[in-house]
Amino acid sequence: MNTTLVRNPLIEHRLLVILCIFYTISSLTSAILVARLMQIGPLLLPGGIFIFPFSYAIIDIVAELYGYQLASKLILSLSIGSIFYAMYVFFILHVPYPAWWQHNDNYQQVLSSSMRLVFWGVIANYLASKLNAFVLVKLKLLLKGKSFPIRSIIASSIGELLLTTLVYVGVMFGTASISNIILLGISGYFVKVMLAILLAFPSQLVVAYAKRTGSFSNMEPNLKQTVC
């Protein structure tokens, strides 16, 4: 009996489209909401903290199913799209507006701060996301494809640590006291690691379901080539 699993390009395509959509939504939404600070008990948190970890979970799924190279292309595509988003918002914020319109200062206050994050965050998020995907695939080699939830948690935690360090140093420095920046960084990283742990298991369900269809059985014939 031939038990060879047959790839289903339609399933591969549909899942990738869905993942790309939610990856873009989670990344840009968190960038817009980052300036809205929250105080939850002793934790001082940016507004996008609860949605951004989804982007790392999605990158983990893409790297696991489609490989490191495609995950890298997705990260690069988001970085380029974020630059165009920031340029257009910057342009609109400086276009003349009617004298009777009274809300320009509100837009300036909210969106100008997010622009600083986007420009600096593009670099930080690109490097951290690439590191996340790289660690996940390297661990996949070491563990022979097993233990995806553990690999996802480790990779996301490492990527988030780099991102948190770069973003809070580059974006927050000069806008808040050192003590508040440290509190934001520690609080944010703690919450993101906790969310990475929670998201690892739903991500495992997605990966397991996709692999059961047989569609991804041969997506990475040589894992070593994907991280070179």
Q: What is the pLDDT along the chain (228 residues), one digit of tens a residue?
A: 444 445 556 667 888 899 999 999 988 888 777 777 788 888 778 778 888 889 999 999 999 999 999 999 999 999 898 888 888 888 888 888 888 888 888 777 777 665 666 677 788 889 999 999 999 999 999 998 899 999 999 999 999 999 888 877 766 665 567 777 788 788 888 989 999 999 999 999 999 888 887 656 545 544 554 554
Which candidate, 222, 226, 216, places its Cα nearest to that of 10? 216
Instruction: Give the predicted TM-score (pTM) of the model.
Output: 0.82
Q: What pLDDT is recorded for position 133?
A: 94
Per the CB < 8 A criterion, the answer to whether 196 and 152 are in contact is yes
CATH level 3 topology of 9-219: Arp2/3 complex 21 kDa subunit ARPC3 (1.10.1760)
Longest dimension (CA), the chain: 77
Which candidate, 214, 127, 114, 116, places its Cα nearest to that of 163? 127
CA distance 114 to 111: 5
Q: What pLDDT is recorded for position 77?
A: 92
In the chain, where are the structural domains located? 9-219
Say whether 176 sits in a helix, a strand or coil: strand
Cα–Cα distance list, 135 to 9, 60, 177 (Å):
27, 10, 33
